[in-house]
């Protein structure tokens, strides 16, 4: 039977993660209160941040930035898309003539 958590991202009960996806206290908080779908939303947002800001996750400053953004996204609700970011497929749609 799937483990159900009250997901802080989705704001509703959903299937919980199978394991803590991050070490330490933060990983425990994520495991206890973020669903699989909520975590996947973070992973997609993280990918956007890495690509738009051209981050190298192995660098300590980039890791610190991503951890801070992860906490905001999952628990603070204040995470934002990078400035000037346009969702794929949300362009003007006009073709060159």
The domains located in the chain, with CATH, are 4-76 (1.10.3880.10)
Q: What pLDDT, on a 0 to 100 scale, did the predictor assign at position 77?
A: 66
| Residue 29 near residue 9, CB atoms below 8 Å | no
pLDDT tens digits along 10-66: 999 999 999 999 999 999 999 999 999 999 999 999 999 999 999 999 999 999 999
- Answer yes or no: is pLDDT of 71 > 50: yes
Query: If DSSP codes are grouped into helix, strand and coil, which group holds residue 7?
Result: strand
Count of C-beta atoms within a 10 Å radius of residue 43: 12
**pLDDT reading at 3 higher than 80:** yes
Residue-level pLDDT at 33? 98
Angle formed by the axes of helices 60-71 and 24-33, nearest 10°: 30
């Amino acid at each position: 039977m799937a483990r159900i958590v009250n997901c802080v991202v989705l704001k509703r009960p959903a299937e919980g993660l199978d394991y803590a996806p991050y070490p330490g206290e933060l990983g425990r908080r994520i495991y206890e209160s973020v669903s699989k779908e909520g975590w996947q939303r973070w992973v997609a947002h993280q990918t956007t941040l890495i690509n738009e800001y051209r981050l190298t996750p192995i660098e300590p400053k980039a890791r610190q930035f991503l951890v801070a953004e992860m906490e905001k996204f999952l628990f603070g609700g204040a995470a934002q898309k990078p400035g000037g970011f346009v969702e794929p497929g949300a362009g003007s749609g006009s073709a060159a003539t």
